[in-house]
Structure formats: C-alpha cells, structure tokens
Amino acid sequence: MQISQLLRHKGPEVATIDGAESVRSALALLAEKGIGALIVSSDGRRIDGIVSERDVARGLNDRGAGSWPSPWPA
C-alpha cells in the first residue's frame, strides 16, 4: 500500500489547531476527531508544527500532571 492510497481512503480533511490553544483543547479535538495528531497552524494554511498524543504523554511523564492543564474536571 502507498501513502497516496491511505490519503484517498482517509479523505481530504486535515485537522488543525492554533499554537495559542491549550493542551486541553488539543486533547479534546484529538478525541472528538478520533485521531492521534494535529497540524499546528496560526493561519490555517502555513504549517507551524505537529502535536500528537505521544507529545502530550511524554510531556506528562517528563513534567508531571501538575504542570499541564487537566483535560478532566476536578
């Protein structure tokens, strides 16, 4: 299988998030879309980066849960 075949199956939608958004917002969007990564873009056209579930998991491991906004209600 080729990447082009995967993209045809996936469809044209690309999920993006502004870099000024919170980690909590990113997690909510990942869950809502059922995906594992988001393109970070300040204008919706230029790619500033990518944030993934793995980035969040490693950040929690490295910094501890107390340093990140919790995605769960207290």
Q: Which of 13, 26, 16 is nearest to 46 (CA)?
A: 16
Task: Tell me which DSSP letter residue 73 carries.
Answer: -
User: Residue 62: what residue type?
Assistant: D
This prediction has a pTM of 0.75
Task: Tell me which DSSP letter residue 62 carries.
Answer: H
- Give SS3 for 52: strand
* Token pair 């988001």 in the structure block, residue: 38
- pLDDT tens-digit readout, 11-65: 888 999 999 999 889 999 999 999 999 999 999 889 999 999 999 888 888 877 6
**Is it true that domain 3-65 has CATH number 3.40.720.10?**
no
